[in-house]
Amino acid sequence: MKKLICLLLLMPLLRITACAELDAALYETLPEDVREISGTLSDAYSYDGEGALNRLIKAGHLHLREAAADSRSTALGLLALLFLGALVVPFCQRAGMSELTELCLTAAAALFLTEGLESILSQANAAIEQLLDYSRAAMPSIFAAAAVSGAAASSAARYAAVSLAMDVMMTLAQKLIVPLIHAQLVLSIALGLYDNALLQSMLGLFRQASTLTMTLLATGFISFIGISGLVCGTADAAAVRTVKTAISTALPVVGGIMSDAALAVLSSAALLRNTAGVFSLIAIAALCLSPFASLFVRWVLFRFSATMAGIISGKRLGVLLAGFGAAMAQLMGLVGSFSMVLFFSIVSAIRTVTP
Amino acid sequence: MTLVLKAAAAAISAALIALLLKRSNPELALLLSVMTLIVVSAASLRFLDDVRELLNLAQELYGVSYRFCQPIVKCLAIAIVTRFSSDLCRDASQAALASGVDFVGGICALTVALPLIVSVLKNLRSML
């Protein structure tokens, strides 16, 4: 009986140790620059979420400024081509050669943009790879820590579900979504050079296909995690309820007190879950900050240039730039989907800590 | 501004004289038109240096390589020459020749644009 009481008294300590391990797993797998933004999670109860948010906003400003400086040469080059087009096209219009000159201008702009395109695409790919690396490094530790907290069945099932879903998402992103975005860029250039209804339809189809795939992947992943969590979580919750009832019935007088103490520990675990959740949200946002800022600046640049080109340099260049802007938006969506999936994976792991 | 005024004065004077000459000697009237056009165009050629400087500046400050701008400027030059030539042919009541000049101008502009288009196609191929 004494052993049982000792064991029951030690259970909250085990849970707290598990929570600490989970925090360490969340923190230690982050890159150094992200740790500076997210701050430490050593003392979960006093995690400075507001300070981390301020650091995140400051870092966001910095990344935006850096991205703007990086894309300055692209912006200036586009501006020069736009003004050249605005000067040349009206001249050639009177000679009946505006179509050819616009074609020339669009080809020049396409050539100018495709030279820097690889770096943008590789940046987005690198962001996804970084998120996956973080996921691969952090997930085993996070779920192992969650398993120590007592939810062995659900954490194992969730880990399997998360790993499978992440692998499926990565494969689909690499084999389907990124090629679809490439195809959209190619079609935008082709449409700029040669206005054709079939090309326009194909571009629309590819755009819808990639958007739909991303939406389905994100929704499917969350549903999958939700369903697997629901099934396993119900089993764990039932087990905890049985233990609580067992404590209360086995210990007639102390049982109620023990049960209340257990509830206090569990509520502190809920508090820990909240802080860990905030921490992981900030950490993932910090991970995605740099590529997001870069893609956002490019998107704004292309949208603005497309509007200007439509007004001053002719329709073809406007179509080309609008297509590039839409592709940047798709890349942002892809990075966003991955970050959301990663966040939900971590939240799923954190949820297993609480009963 | 001064150049425009001078060019306008020369062109109007030449047009009036050509109108007078056209009844008795249409060849001379046409020749007068051609000569006036050449003189007026030659006077504006000195602005080409400014355009070249602008392109160099675009290359230095904006990072736009000359190979992007060159075909566009060439297209502009082809368009101007084609327009002048075809208008002169039409003045001489030679519509077929004017059409021929237009056609050649179009082909030349396309030829100028071709290297850019080929480069774009190569880039597209590498992207896919």
pLDDT tens per residue, range A11-41: 454 444 545 555 566 666 677 777 777 777 6
Which stretch of A62-66, A86-90, B15-19, B110-114 has the lowest confidence by average pLDDT? A86-90
Rounded CA gap, B83 and A83, in Å? 23
The domain locations on chain A are 74-351
pLDDT band per the 50, 70, 90 thresholds, residue A149: low
Q: Determine, for residues A104 and B61 on separate chains, whether the beta-carbon distance falls below 8 Å.
A: no
User: Is residue A7 less than 8 Å (CB to CB) from chain B?
Assistant: no
- Kindly report, residue by residue over A110-143, the tens digit of the pLDDT: 888 887 777 777 777 777 777 777 777 777 776 7
The mean predicted confidence, pLDDT, of chain A is 73
Contacts of B80 in chain A (CB under 8 A): 91, 95
Contacts of A77 in chain B (CB under 8 A): 62-64
User: Is residue A252 less than 8 Å (CB to CB) from chain B?
Assistant: no
Query: Above 60 in pLDDT, residue A250?
Result: no
The dihedrals phi and psi of A314, each to the nearest 5 degrees, come to 110, 165
Contacts of A92 in chain B (CB under 8 A): 75-76, 79
**pLDDT at site A255:** 46
Nearest CA in chain B to A94: B83
Q: Determine, for residues A186 and B124 on separate chains, whether the beta-carbon distance falls below 8 Å.
A: yes
Q: Are residues B69 and B103 in the same domain?
A: yes
- Say which residue the tokens 């675990």 belong to: A269
**pLDDT at site A150:** 62
Rounded CA gap, B115 and A298, in Å? 27
**pLDDT at site A265:** 44
Q: Are residues B105 and B63 in the same domain?
A: yes
Rounded CA gap, A135 and A343, in Å? 10
Nearest to A110 by CA among A81, A89, A148, A138: A81
Q: Are residues B99 and B72 in the same domain?
A: yes
Q: Are residues B53 and B39 in the same domain?
A: no
Half-sphere exposure (Cβ direction) of A94: Cα atoms closer than 13 Å: 11
Q: Are residues B31 and B57 in the same domain?
A: no
- Number of A–B residue contacts, CB under 8 Å: 106
Angle CA B120–B126–B128, to nearest 5: 105
A159 versus B115: the higher-pLDDT residue is B115
**pLDDT at site A197:** 86
Q: Are residues B58 and B117 in the same domain?
A: yes
Query: Above 50 in pLDDT, residue A264?
Result: no
Query: Above 70 in pLDDT, residue A145?
Result: no
Domains held by chain B: number: 2
User: Is residue B71 less than 8 Å (CB to CB) from chain A?
Assistant: yes
**pLDDT at site A24:** 61
**pLDDT at site A340:** 78
Task: For residue B31, give its domain range.
Answer: 1-45
**pLDDT at site A194:** 83
Contacts of B76 in chain A (CB under 8 A): 88, 91-92, 101
pLDDT band per the 50, 70, 90 thresholds, residue A252: very low
Nearest CA in chain A to B110: A100
**pLDDT at site B74:** 85
A225 versus A270: the higher-pLDDT residue is A225
The answer to whether A86 and A313 are in contact (CB under 8 A) is yes
Nearest CA in chain B to A88: B76
pLDDT band per the 50, 70, 90 thresholds, residue A60: confident
What is the share, in percent, of chain A residues with pLDDT greater than 90? 0
Rounded CA gap, B128 and A178, in Å? 11
> Which one of A82, A84, A104 makes the best mutation probe of the B interface by having the most chain B beta carbons within 10 Å?
A104
A158 versus A330: the higher-pLDDT residue is A330
Q: Are residues B57 and B119 in the same domain?
A: yes
pLDDT band per the 50, 70, 90 thresholds, residue A247: very low
- Kindly report, residue by residue over A175-185, the tens digit of the pLDDT: 888 888 888 88
**pLDDT at site B80:** 84
Residues 180-199 of A with CB under 8 A from B: 182-183, 185-186, 189-190, 193
Q: Compute and round to an integer the Cα radius of gyration of chain A.
A: 27
Query: Above 80 in pLDDT, residue A345?
Result: no
Q: Are residues B32 and B60 in the same domain?
A: no
pLDDT band per the 50, 70, 90 thresholds, residue B30: confident
* B64-80 average pLDDT score: 81
* A209-228 average pLDDT score: 78
Contacts of B102 in chain A (CB under 8 A): 96
pTM here is 0.72
* A199-213 average pLDDT score: 88
Rounded CA gap, A262 and A267, in Å? 9
- Type and span of the H or E element at A300: helix A254-312
User: Is residue A81 less than 8 Å (CB to CB) from chain B?
Assistant: yes
Q: Are residues B35 and B67 in the same domain?
A: no
Q: Are residues B39 and B68 in the same domain?
A: no
A95 versus A245: the higher-pLDDT residue is A95
Nearest CA in chain B to A193: B117
Please report the ipTM that was assigned to this predicted complex. Answer: 0.70
Rounded CA gap, A98 and B26, in Å? 33
Q: Are residues B22 and B74 in the same domain?
A: no
Q: Are residues B12 and B39 in the same domain?
A: yes
> Which one of B54, B57, B72 makes the best mutation probe of the A interface by having the most chain A beta carbons within 10 Å?
B72
Residue type, A13: L
pLDDT band per the 50, 70, 90 thresholds, residue A294: confident
Three-state secondary structure of A257-271: HHHHHHHHHHHHHHH
Nearest to A326 by CA among A150, A203, A243, A227: A203
Residue A207 contacts by C-beta under 8 Å, 6 or more apart in sequence? Answer: A184, A326, A330
